[in-house]
């Protein structure tokens, strides 16, 4: 490993704009990474795994003879594959990845409050997890609603939705695009105003999508993202994911005001 690691890392880094970009996406100190490149030190097992995952190779493959590694990385590098295959979607989104801002400070868990598109007059609380993966910012949003109005709600009485998407910062706005992964029958877009404070608390924005009713009416609602932290009790948080009445004491006055302020009537605008 010590004989070829530096040479192979330099080759792998050549697929990117700069070594600094690689270090930034890996969250590894540049000075430390330079020692890996020069052979002065070896990555820990943890860092070696991260580096391998980032470049799309196995840990041991980073120590292969350079000629063999060159053939390997040429075949597996995602950017090379996209170029060779001419994937139009990857090419379309490439400028967003390259020119978008760094969303690292926003990574973590959030409660998302929104005016429910399928049950007007109710507030839907969702759980969002935003993370960075190989320089791309991805997120997952969990929703659930009761089928029954009974107080004794069983497991089969819940309708669950799981949205998967990507996030981008373009100038002074955060753009998030996702799709419902369980049924693959809808997409939504959220635009958030970033926080300029040292500590993130709540973010305001708008979300467009469709109601889950038979008409699938396109709609737009105000949303509030409440930052929970990078580590949370997921079970406890998920138990709070459901519909709430606007006057429910668990919804504070600040959230209610943020969801209702402005020209959108009742926070929800339906497009006929």
Render each residue's pLDDT in the chain as its tens digit; 272 residues: 568 899 999 988 887 778 888 898 888 999 999 999 988 889 998 899 889 888 888 888 898 888 888 877 765 555 544 444 456 887 888 888 888 889 999 999 999 999 998 888 899 999 999 999 878 899 999 998 876 444 444 445 668 889 999 999 998 899 999 999 888 889 999 999 998 888 899 999 999 998 766 678 898 999 999 999 999 999 999 999 999 998 999 999 999 999 986 444 445 554 44
Query: Is CATH 3.30.420 the classification given to domain 104-270?
Result: no
Contact 36, 13 (CB under 8 A): no
Domain span(s) for CATH 1.10.260 in the chain = 5-86
Q: Which residue has the tokens 């998920």?
A: 238
Do residues 97 and 36 make contact, with C-beta atoms less than 8 angstroms apart?
no
Question: b/e string for 2-33 if b means 16 or more Cβ within 10 A?
Answer: eebbbebbebbbeebeebeebbebbebeeeeb
Distance CA 183, CA 241 (A): 19
CATH 2.40.128 boundaries in the chain: 104-270
Say how far apart CA 94 and CA 16 lie, in whole Å: 13
Q: 5-86 sits in which CATH class?
A: mainly alpha
Q: Which residues pair with 139 in a beta bridge?
A: 130, 165
């Amino acid at each position: 490993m010590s004989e070829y690691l530096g040479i192979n890392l330099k080759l792998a880094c050549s697929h990117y704009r700069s070594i600094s970009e690689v270090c930034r996406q890996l969250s590894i100190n540049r000075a430390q990474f330079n020692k890996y490149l020069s052979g002065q030190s070896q990555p820990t097992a943890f860092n070696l795994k991260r580096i391998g995952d980032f470049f799309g190779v196995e840990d041991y493959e980073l120590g292969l003879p350079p000629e063999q590694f060159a053939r390997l990385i040429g075949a597996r590098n995602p950017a090379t594959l996209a170029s060779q295959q001419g994937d139009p979607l990857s090419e379309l989104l490439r400028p967003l990845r390259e020119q978008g801002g760094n969303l690292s400070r926003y990574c973590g868990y959030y409660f998302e409050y929104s005016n429910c598109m399928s049950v007007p007059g109710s507030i839907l609380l969702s759980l969002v997890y935003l993370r960075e993966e190989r320089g791309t910012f991805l997120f997952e949003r969990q929703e659930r609603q009761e089928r029954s109005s009974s107080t004794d709600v069983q497991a089969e009485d819940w309708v669950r939705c799981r949205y998967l998407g990507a996030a981008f910062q373009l100038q002074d706005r955060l753009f998030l695009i996702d799709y419902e992964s369980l049924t693959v029958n809808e997409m939504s877009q959220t635009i958030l105003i970033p926080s300029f404070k040292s500590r993130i608390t709540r973010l305001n924005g708008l979300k467009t999508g469709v109601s889950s009713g038979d008409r699938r009416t396109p709609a737009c609602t105000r949303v509030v993202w409440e930052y929970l932290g990078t580590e949370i009790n997921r079970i406890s948080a998920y138990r709070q994911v459901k519909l709430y009445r606007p006057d429910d004491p668990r919804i504070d006055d600040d959230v209610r005001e943020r969801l209702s302020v402005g020209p959108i009537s009742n926070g929800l605008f339906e497009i006929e």
